Chain A
Amino acid sequence: MIAPAAFFVLAVVLFVLGVIAFFVKKDLLTQFMAVEVMLNAGNLALLALAKASGRPDGQALVLFIITVAAAEAVIGLAIIVLIFRQRKSIRTDDLEDLKG
């Protein structure tokens, strides 16, 4: 039997990798993908901890979160499309009209 701790640590590692990816990547789309990694890490943590505490709801929660991720993906891609149409680029750092 694998200790839930292992799953949790994996979740944390994935979360942190997602964070790093968010910083390393330079376009909106990939940065959003990095966020997806973080969300998935959250899901994993949820399942791991739910299992550790012996609750059956973990799966249900994960289901909701995946739905949320999907919804975010929809709106996110729409925004990225919008940006791309305007600027012909989705480089995040190009978004600097607003500052100061």
Chain B
Amino acid sequence: MALVIFAVLSVACVGAVTAMILSQNQARNALFLVLAFSSLGGIFGLLDAPFAAAVQVLVYAGAIMVLFLFAVMMFNLRRPLPPEGKRLRTYLAAALALVLLAELVLAGRRVLAGGAAEAYPSGSAIADLGRLLFTDYLYAFEITSLLIVAALVGALALAGKTGGE
């Protein structure tokens, strides 16, 4: 069963990204990604990471991508960009990306060779997670708040109405 779900979700995910690569329509691209990220949320669930899955769907697919969608519309980018001639570089990049694929798989091989180790019970995951966040990861957690503030300030400084004269 899980396998089927995994298969469906991964096909959806990969397919959506592929479609996004192939499509010229910006708005549709954003929607493809919403699909991809939502599927990914499902896959997170399969990995016994329900919280991550939820955050993925809500924050990523929901918030971030919607933001993108608005941006697309704001920039009026629905019409496709004219194709450009420098294809060779794209193919070269694709070829290089495939090499990267091989390397990354190769690198992960050793980790995966150990096989799955069911180390923690899935039930207590959320509670554990909460505890972790406020113990081991407290410092990191605080930093994220700093990060968000910094990003907001930066965004305001760059795109805000006021600011420089």
Using Cβ atoms and an 8 Å threshold, which residues of chain A touch B150? 71
Using Cβ atoms and an 8 Å threshold, which residues of chain B touch A43? 40, 44, 52, 56
A8 vs B3: C-alpha distance when bound (angstroms): 15
User: Which residue of chain B lies nearest to A15 when distances are taken between CB atoms in the complex?
Assistant: B104
The answer on a CB contact under 8 Å between A8 and B112 is yes
With an 8 Å Cβ cutoff, the count of chain B residues facing the other chain is 80
The answer on a CB contact under 8 Å between B10 and A56 is no
With an 8 Å Cβ cutoff, the count of chain A residues facing the other chain is 71
Indicate if B129 sits at the interface (CB-CB under 8 A).
Answer: yes
Binary per-residue interface labels of chain A (64-92) against chain B in the complex, 1 for a CB within 8 Å, 0 otherwise: 10111111111101111110110000110
Chain B residues close to A by CB (< 8 Å): 2-3, 6, 10, 13-14, 17-18, 20-21, 26, 29-30, 33, 36-37, 40, 43-44, 46-49, 51-52, 55-56, 59-60, 63-64, 67-68, 71-72, 74-75, 77, 81, 84, 89-90, 93-94, 97-98, 100-101, 104-105, 108, 111-112, 114-120, 125, 128-129, 132-133, 136-137, 140-141, 144, 147-148, 150-152, 154-156, 158-159
Cβ contacts A to B, 8 pairs, < 8 Å = A5-B108, A15-B100, A33-B29, A59-B125, A74-B148, A75-B151, A75-B158, A93-B84
Chain A residues close to B by CB (< 8 Å): 1-10, 12-21, 23-27, 29-30, 33, 36-37, 40, 43-45, 47-49, 51-60, 62-64, 66-75, 77-82, 84-85, 90-91, 93
